[in-house]
């Protein structure tokens, strides 16, 4: 009798435990995020994947990558019908110092937030300096338009586009506290959302700072104060001029279409007429 009672009790406990266990494949948190590796070297691809528990139509996932509270990358990610999201980052670029970097994802509200970390070995390469600097303007690789500038307390060394981060990297030599005013054509860098102007993110040596801005239909004028010793100002928007490879591909496509059109016309012109 006792043996039967024991078996019955154990069976009941097992059934209750199974009933309380979560269904396979369901995530317990409102959002989760992970990377494919725990550490990366410069130039490696960082694959970021995640999943949400509940799907809210039209709501993207906001992604921030930071190091010691300094933001190095921002993105808006679309969630698939399977409730999963994915993006790829490149180790390096705006990530310069070695150390632990945090990826933070937010889904709509601060109640739906998750983080993960990875180690970066540090940047060893130095981007080439832009030599197209005059006393009042800077030329940008990939664009015929010029950025106008005035600076106090230092010298502007060059400006390089970062296509992946949709930003401009401004190199300066700050000999004292000063300010930099940039007149940026919208054809070079812009920040918009739903057809309306959006705010830029401005970082000085990796730290987010405030700035003043005025706009027009064709350009955006930013005034940024910087401290003595500052070396790099990054301005992050939603669009930056395409890299040379993209422009070259467009030119090649136009050339091919032109050749086809001319060839077709030539064949028609030499056909005998009756």
For residue 88, give the H/E element and its range.
Answer: strand 84-90
% of the chain residues with pLDDT over 70: 75
Listed range (4-8, 141-145, 181-185) with the worst mean pLDDT: 4-8
Whether residue 18 is contained in a domain is answered as no
DSSP class of 241: P
Determine how β-strand 61-67 pairs with β-strand 45-52: unpaired
Whether residue 229 is contained in a domain is answered as yes
Q: What is the token pair recorded at 152?
A: 């106090």
Beta pairing partners, 119 = 39, 100
Do 104 and 60 share a structural domain?
yes
The answer on pLDDT for 243 being more than 50 is no
Give me the CATH number covering residue 70.
Answer: 2.60.40.1930
Helix (H, G, I), strand (E, B) or coil at 127: coil
Do 89 and 172 share a structural domain?
no
Whether residue 70 is contained in a domain is answered as yes
The answer on pLDDT for 151 being more than 90 is yes
Output the pLDDT for position 73. Answer: 85
For residue 6, give the H/E element and its range.
Answer: helix 2-20
Please count the structural domains in the chain.
Answer: 2
Output the pLDDT for position 256. Answer: 57
Do 146 and 237 share a structural domain?
yes
The answer on pLDDT for 17 being more than 80 is no
Q: Express the helix, strand and coil content of the chain in percent, nearest 5 each.
A: 15, 45, 35
Output the pLDDT for position 19. Answer: 44
Mean pLDDT of the chain, nearest integer: 82
Model confidence pLDDT, tens digit, residues 74-88: 888 999 999 999 999
Let me know the angle formed at the C-alpha of 168 by 163 and 173, rounded to the nearest 5 degrees.
Answer: 140
Output the pLDDT for position 258. Answer: 56
CA atoms within 13 A on the CB side of 213: 17
Domain that holds residue 65: 31-120
CA atoms within 13 A on the CB side of 142: 20
pLDDT confidence of 172, banded at 50, 70, 90? very high
Instruction: Give the residue-averaged pLDDT of 169-192.
Output: 95
Give me the CATH number covering residue 183.
Answer: 2.60.40
Whether residue 271 is contained in a domain is answered as no
Sheet containing 45-52, strands listed edge to edge, beginning at the edge strand earlier in sequence: 31-35, 45-52, 84-90
For residue 219, give the H/E element and its range.
Answer: strand 219-226
Do 105 and 164 share a structural domain?
no
Instruction: Give the residue-averaged pLDDT of 99-124.
Output: 91
pLDDT confidence of 189, banded at 50, 70, 90? very high
The answer on pLDDT for 20 being more than 50 is no
Q: What is the token pair recorded at 233?
A: 């100002």
Do 141 and 240 share a structural domain?
yes
Instruction: Give the residue-averaged pLDDT of 262-269.
Output: 53
Do 110 and 143 share a structural domain?
no
């Amino acid at each position: 009798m006792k043996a039967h009672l024991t078996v019955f009790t154990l069976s009941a406990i097992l059934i209750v435990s199974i009933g309380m266990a979560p269904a396979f494949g369901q995530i317990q948190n409102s959002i989760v995020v992970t990377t494919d590796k725990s550490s990366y070297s410069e130039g490696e691809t960082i694959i970021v994947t995640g999943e949400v528990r509940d799907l809210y139509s039209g709501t993207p996932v906001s992604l921030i990558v930071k190091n010691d509270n300094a933001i190095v990358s921002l993105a808006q990610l679309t969630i698939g019908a399977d409730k999963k999201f994915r993006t790829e980052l490149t180790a390096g670029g705006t990530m310069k110092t070695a150390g632990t970097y945090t990826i933070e994802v937010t889904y709509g509200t601060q109640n739906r937030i998750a983080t993960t970390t990875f180690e970066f070995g540090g940047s060893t390469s130095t981007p080439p300096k832009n030599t197209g600097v005059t006393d009042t303007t800077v030329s940008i690789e990939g664009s015929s338009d010029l950025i106008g500038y005035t600076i106090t307390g230092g010298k502007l060394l060059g400006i390089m586009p970062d296509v992946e981060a949709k930003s401009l990297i401004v190199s300066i030599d700050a000999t004292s506290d000063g300010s930099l005013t940039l007149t940026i054509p919208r054809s070079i860098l812009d920040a918009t959302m739903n057809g309306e102007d959006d705010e830029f993110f401005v970082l000085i040596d990796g730290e987010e700072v405030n700035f003043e801005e005025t706009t027009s239909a064709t350009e955006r004028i930013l005034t940024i104060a910087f401290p003595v010793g500052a070396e790099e100002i990054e301005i992050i928007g939603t669009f930056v001029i395409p890299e040379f490879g993209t422009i070259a591909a467009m030119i090649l496509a136009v050339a091919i279409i032109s050749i086809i059109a001319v060839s077709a016309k030539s064949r028609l012109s030499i056909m005998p007429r009756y």
